[in-house]
Amino acid sequence: MALLEVDRLRVEFPTRNGTLTAVDDVSFTVEEGEVLGLVGESGAGKSMTGAAIIGLIEPPGHIAGGEIRLDGGRIDALRGEALRKVRGKQIGAIFQDPLTSLNPLFTVGDQLVETIRTHLPLSVAEARRRAVDWLAEVGIPAPDKRIDQYPHQFSGGMRQRVVIALALCAEPRLIIADEPTTALDVSVQAQIIALLKKLCRERNAAVILVTHDMGVIAETADRVAVMYAGRLAEIGPVKQVLEKPNHPYTAGLMGSIPRIGPRPERLIQIAGSMPRLSDIPAGCAFNPRCTRVFADCHVHRPRLAASGDGAVACLHYEGARP
Amino acid sequence: MTRTMSLAARRPAGTAPLLEVSDLRKHFALPRPFLNRVLQAEQHQLVRAVDGIDFTIERGKTLSLVGESGCGKSTVAKLVMGLIGTTSGRIVFDGVDLSHAPAGAPAKLRRRMQMIFQDPYASLNPRWRVRDIIAEPLQTYRLCASRAEETREVDRLLEFVGLNAKDGDKFPHEFSGGQRQRISIARAISTKPDFLVCDEPTSALDVSVQAQILNLMREMQRELGLTYLFISHDLAVVNFMADWIGVMYLGRLVELAPAETVFASPQHPYTRLLLDTIPDLTMARRGREPVAGEVPNPIDPPPGCHFHPRCPFAESRCRSEPPQLRETVLGASTACHAVEEGRLPPAVASGFAGGAIPTDGAHLLGKIAPPDQQLVG
Ligand SMILES: Nc1ncnc2c1ncn2[C@@H]1O[C@H](COP(=O)(O)OP(=O)(O)OP(=O)(O)O)[C@@H](O)[C@H]1O
Ligand SMILES: Nc1ncnc2c1ncn2[C@@H]1O[C@H](COP(=O)(O)OP(=O)(O)OP(=O)(O)O)[C@@H](O)[C@H]1O
Ligand code: SF4
Ligand SMILES: [Mg+2]
Ligand SMILES: [Mg+2]
C-alpha cells in the first residue's frame, strides 16, 4: 500500500458567481521515501492540493469530494485534536516564506523544543539537546549559540534551514514542501533543495515538492505530477515526463523553458494562457491552447490513462475517453 | 570635453555605442536607529547599491545584467532611466551626457528611452482603459497630430504586441499577467524608442507565457532595431536574450563579456558559481554538491573583493585590495586577482561544445568552498 493515496480529490470555493473548482478529480499516490514533484503554472491548484493533504484549506474553500488516505486511514475529514496529531507528527510542512512558519517573538530554540515535545515524549533538557543536534544537522554553524537567537537574526537561507528542522524534528512520514526555495537567492536554492532531499532520504520520509521550477524537479524528484487548471494532465517518472512528455501541455511547457546552450532564434511557445477557474472550457481544459486538438477534445473530458510507466489525461491515448 | 565624448566623436556617426556608462555610483543613506545615532554620533549608514560600474551597449544589441537579489541591478536600471539621480559617474546616451540632467530632460532623448518593469500589475494604472494607458506617452511627447491618428496608432501597437484592437477599451484587470506585460510593452514602444530598459520583464510570469514575451522581444529587436538593457537573475533567460552579459555582485561588475564567452569560459569564480547553481533540466547533475555561502549584506560589504568570503581562491590580496575589471579572454573583462595572476584553473565550457551540460558542475569551481560561517545572519 502506498504511504499516501489521494483519490479523486475535489476542492471547491463557493463564490458569489458560482462554485469554483480549484482541484478537480485529482488522484495520485506517494510511496514511502519517494519525492513526488507537483508542477504546473500559477493557479493550477498545486498549493490547494498540498493544503488539502495537511488539512489547511482556508474556508470557505473545502474538500468537496474524494478521499485522502495515509497508511490506508482517511485523513481528509479529521478535525481538532485528531487533525493536529497528523499535521506536524505524520505530515510536516515547509512553505515558500520561512517567516510564515517561524514565530518572530520566540527564539529558534523555543520553537524547536516546543515542536519536539509536542510530538515526542522528551524532557525539556532532552528536547533542547535534540534541537541543537537538529540545527547542526541542517547546517547552522555554532548551533549551541544560535539556538537562543530570534528568527530575524538569521539570513533568509538560514531561516529556511530552521524551518526544515522544524518540519522534520517530529519525524514525520511525509513532508509537503510548497515552493520552499522560491523566495531565496539562486545560489542558496541549490543548498536548501540538496539538504531537504538528503535529510528525507536518510529518514525515509516522503516529499511532495510543489514548485513551478522544472530545473528543481529535474534534480530532485523521483516522479512528477503535472497539473493544469485544477486537473492532473500527466504523472510519471521524472525522466519520462521531462524527456518524453506524453501530454501536449507538458511537451509545450518543456519546450518553452529557456536553456543554457546554443541560442535558438525562438522558444517554443504555447498560445494563450491558462483559463481562469470560472471559464474552463468544456471537454479537455487544454483544448484552446493545444496543437493536437481534434473534435472530441471539445466534448469529452479525458481521464488519466496509463501510458509508459505513468499516466496521461489526453484523448489521443487509449483509455482516456470517459 | 571628456574622454567618453571624444571617444564617441572619433567614430563615424551611428557606430558609437548607444549607451556608455562610466564609474557609475549610487549610495543610499539609511537612517540609523535613534539610540545608535546618539551613542555613536553617526548619522547614516551607506548602502553602496551601485559602486563604480562601467559598460557600453552597442546599437541593436542586448546587454544583460545578472546577479542575485540586492546586487544593484534595478538601481542601475533606474539610474540609466533617470528615475533616480546618480551619486557620481556618467551616463552617456547617443553621445549626450545624461548624468546631471534633471529627470525627464532632455525630453527628446528621454522619448527614445523607455522601460518595462517586472510587475505588470503595479505598472499599469488600474483605473485607466488600456487605450489611454498606451496613448499617454504619445500625448506627452505630442507624437500624434489628431485623435484619429492616435486611435490608429494605439490599435496598431496593440496588434503589434499580439493583442486585439478591441482590447483597448478594457481595463488592466481584465487581462492575464502575460497580456498585461504585452500592454506595458505596447506602451513602452509607443514613442518609437531605440532603447528599452527591461527589469525582470518575465520574472512574474509563468514559463509558457514567458516564452511568448521573450519571443516578442526578440522579434521587436529584429524588426525595430532596438537596443536592450535586459535585467534578469535567470541565466537561461539571459542566454536567450543577451549579446553581452554583465555579472554583478554587491554593487560591482565582476565580469563583462560576450554572452557565449560567459557560458563557454566563465572567468570570475562568482560567475562559475552562478553557472553551477542553475538547476539542470537534463538531470545530469542530480546529487551534485551545492556551493556553500550566502550573499552578504550590501550595507557593510566585505573589504577587498566583495566575493572573497565565499571564494575558494581567495588569498590575502583579495581581502584587502578591490580587484579592477581587466580584459582577460576574447574581449571579456573580469575583476578577480586570481584570474589576473593566472591562479585559476581553466573553467570548462558548459553547454556549447557538445550541446550537453557537463555531468558534474564542480569542475567549474575547481574545488568546492567550505561552508562559509561568517556570513550567517
Ligand atoms: N479564497 C479563494 N477563493 C476563490 N478561489 C481561490 C481562493 N484561493 C485560491 N483560489 C483559486 O484556486 C486556484 C488554485 O490555487 P493554488 O494556490 O492551488 O494555485 P498554485 O498552483 O499553487 O499556483 P501558484 O504557482 O501561483 O502558487 C487558483 O486559481 C486560485 O485563484
Ligand atoms: N531607495 C533605497 N534606499 C535604500 N536602499 C536601497 C534603495 N533602493 C535600493 N536599495 C538597496 O540597494 C541594494 C540594491 O538594490 P536593487 O533593487 O538595485 O537590487 P536588485 O539587484 O535589483 O535586486 P532584486 O534581484 O532583488 O531585484 C539593495 O541592498 C537594496 O536594499
Ligand atoms: S485531449 Fe485534445 S485538447 Fe486535450 S491535450 Fe489531448 S489533444 Fe489536446
Ligand atoms: Mg502555490
Ligand atoms: Mg531588482
Q: Say if residue A238's pLDDT is above 90.
A: yes
**Which whole number is the average pLDDT over B25-51?**
72
> Which is more confident, B12 or A43?
A43
User: What is the pLDDT, as a whole number, of residue B11?
Assistant: 47
Across the interface, whether the CB atoms of B376 and A154 are under 8 A apart is answered: yes
Is residue B41 within 8 A of residue B207, CB to CB? The reply is: no
User: What Rg do the C-alpha atoms of chain A give, in angstroms?
Assistant: 21
For the stretch B121-142, pLDDT in tens is: 778 899 999 999 999 999 998 8
User: What is the pLDDT, as a whole number, of residue A31?
Assistant: 96
What's the CA gap between A220 and B108, in Å, rounded? 52
Is residue A302 within 8 A of residue A285, CB to CB? The reply is: no
Q: Which residue has the cell 549584506?
A: B297
Q: Say if residue B357's pLDDT is above 90.
A: no
Residue B13 pLDDT class (50, 70, 90 cuts): low
**Which whole number is the average pLDDT over A134-152?**
90
Residue B93 pLDDT class (50, 70, 90 cuts): very high
Is residue B129 within 8 A of residue B168, CB to CB? The reply is: yes
**Which whole number is the average pLDDT over A66-73?**
95
Is residue B186 within 8 A of residue B123, CB to CB? The reply is: no
Determine the residue of chain A that is closest to B282 in CA distance.
Answer: A218
Q: Which ligand is nearest to the CA of A95?
A: 4
> Which is more confident, B70 or A309?
A309
Is residue A140 within 8 A of residue A158, CB to CB? The reply is: yes
Q: Say if residue A203's pLDDT is above 70.
A: yes
Q: What is the 3-state secondary structure (H, E, C) of chain A?
A: CCCEEEEEEEEEEEECCEEEEEEEEEEEEECCCCEEEEECCCCCCHHHHHHHHHCCCCCCCEEEEEEEEECCEECCCCCHHHHHHHECCCEEEECCCHHHHCCCCCCHHHHHHHHHHHHCCCCHHHHHHHHHHHHHHCCCCCHHHHCCCCHHHCCHHHHHHHHHHHHHCCCCCEEEEECCCCCCCHHHHHHHHHHHHHHHHHHCCEEEEECCCHHHHHHHCCEEEEEECCEEEEEEEHHHHHHCCCCHHHHHHHHHCCCCCCCCCCCCCCCCCCCCHHHCCCCCCCHHHCCCCCHHHHCCCCCCEEECCEEECCCCCCCCCC
Residue B34 pLDDT class (50, 70, 90 cuts): low
Per the structure block, which three cell numbers stand in for A23? 482541484
User: What is the pLDDT, as a whole number, of residue B289?
Assistant: 66
Q: Say if residue A221's pLDDT is above 90.
A: yes
For the stretch A149-193, pLDDT in tens is: 999 888 888 899 999 999 999 899 999 999 998 878 777 888 888
Q: Say if residue A78's pLDDT is above 80.
A: yes
If one counts every other C-beta atom within 10 angstroms of the C-beta of residue B100, the result is 9
For the stretch B41-90, pLDDT in tens is: 555 678 889 999 999 999 999 999 999 888 999 999 999 998 899 999 99
A42 CB within 6 A, ligand 1: yes
- Of ligand 2's atoms, which has the minimum distance to the CA of residue B71? 21
User: What Rg do the C-alpha atoms of chain B give, in angstroms?
Assistant: 22
Q: Say if residue B101's pLDDT is above 70.
A: no
Q: Say if residue A301's pLDDT is above 80.
A: yes
User: What is the pLDDT, as a whole number, of residue A185?
Assistant: 78
What's the CA gap between B182 and B159, in Å, rounded? 10
Tell me which of A108, A138, A153, A187 to substitute to probe the interface with B (most B C-beta atoms closer than 10 Å).
A187
Q: What is the 3-state secondary structure (H, E, C) of chain B?
A: CCHHHHHHHHCCCCCCCCEEEEEEEEEEEEECCHHHHHHHCCCEEEEEEEEEEEEEECCCCEEEEECCCCCCHHHHHHHHHCCCCCCEEEEEECCEECCCCCCCCCHHHHCCEEEECCCCCCCCCCCCCHHHHHHHHHHHCCCCCCHHHHHHHHHHHHHHCCCCHHHHHCCHHHCCHHHHHHHHHHHHHCCCCCEEEEECCCCCCCHHHHHHHHHHHHHHHHHHCCEEEEECCCHHHHHHHCCEEEEEECCEEEEEEEHHHHHHCCCCHHHHHHHHHCCCCCCCCCCCCCCCCCCCCCCCCCCCCCCHHHCCCCCHHHHHCCCCCEECCCCCEECCHHHHCCCCCCCCCCCCCCCCCCCCCHHHHCCCCCCCCCCCC
Beta bridge partners of B249: B252
Q: Say if residue B185's pLDDT is above 90.
A: yes
**Which whole number is the average pLDDT over B245-258?**
96
What's the CA gap between A237 and A235, in Å, rounded? 7
Q: Which of A174, A70, A250, A191 is nearest to B310 (CA)?
A: A191
Out of A199-203, B149-153, B246-250, B251-255, which region has the weakest mean confidence (pLDDT)? Answer: A199-203
User: What is the pLDDT, as a whole number, of residue A83?
Assistant: 86
Q: How far apart are the first and last CA of chain B?
A: 47
| Identity of residue A13 | F
What's the CA gap between A123 and B3, in Å, rounded? 73
Residues whose CB is less than 8 angstroms from the CB of residue B207 and which lie 6 or more positions away in sequence, other chains included: A41, A212, A214, A253, A256, A257
Sheet containing strand A18-30, edge to edge, reads A18-30, A4-15, A62-70, A73-74
Residue B320 pLDDT class (50, 70, 90 cuts): very high
User: What is the pLDDT, as a whole number, of residue B108?
Assistant: 78
Average pLDDT of the residues of chain A: 92
- B235 to chain A, closest Cα gap in Å: 7
Q: How far is the CA of B144 from the centre of ligand 4 (A)?
A: 44
Across the interface, whether the CB atoms of A218 and B235 are under 8 A apart is answered: no
- Report which protein residue has its CA nearest ligand 2's atom 16: B72
Is residue B318 within 8 A of residue B304, CB to CB? The reply is: yes
Residue B359 pLDDT class (50, 70, 90 cuts): very low
Most confident of A304-308, B12-16, B348-352: A304-308
Out of A61-65, A178-182, A307-311, which region has the weakest mean confidence (pLDDT)? Answer: A178-182
**Which whole number is the average pLDDT over A194-218?**
91
Which residues in chain B are closer than 8 Å to A252, comparing Cβ atoms? Answer: 208
Q: Say if residue B361's pLDDT is above 60.
A: no
Q: Say if residue B370's pLDDT is above 80.
A: no
User: What is the pLDDT, as a whole number, of residue A132?
Assistant: 96
Q: Say if residue A144's pLDDT is above 50.
A: yes
- B169 to chain A, closest Cα gap in Å: 20
- Give the number of C-alpha atoms closer than 13 A to the C-alpha of residue A259, restricted to the C-beta side: 21
Q: Which of A113, A248, A99, A75 is nearest to A183 (CA)?
A: A99
- B334 to chain A, closest Cα gap in Å: 20
Residue A12 pLDDT class (50, 70, 90 cuts): very high
Please name the member of A238, A256, A261 whose beta carbon is closest to the beta carbon of B207: A256
Average pLDDT of the residues of chain B: 82
Asked if the C-beta of B277 comes within 8 angstroms of chain A's C-beta atoms, the answer is yes
Per the structure block, which three cell numbers stand in for B5? 565624448
User: What is the pLDDT, as a whole number, of residue A322?
Assistant: 86
User: What is the pLDDT, as a whole number, of residue B367?
Assistant: 35
User: What is the pLDDT, as a whole number, of residue B301?
Assistant: 84
Residue A19 pLDDT class (50, 70, 90 cuts): very high
| Identity of residue A43 | G
Q: Say if residue B354's pLDDT is above 70.
A: no
Residues 108-147 of A with CB under 8 A from B: 139-142, 146
Across the interface, whether the CB atoms of A258 and B285 are under 8 A apart is answered: no
Q: How far is the CA of A300 from the centre of ligand 3 (A)?
A: 10
User: What is the pLDDT, as a whole number, of residue A1?
Assistant: 84
Residue A140 pLDDT class (50, 70, 90 cuts): confident
**Which whole number is the average pLDDT over A292-309?**
95
What's the CA gap between B208 and B74, in Å, rounded? 25
Per the structure block, which three cell numbers stand in for B8? 564617441
User: What is the pLDDT, as a whole number, of residue A80?
Assistant: 83
User: What is the pLDDT, as a whole number, of residue B374?
Assistant: 33
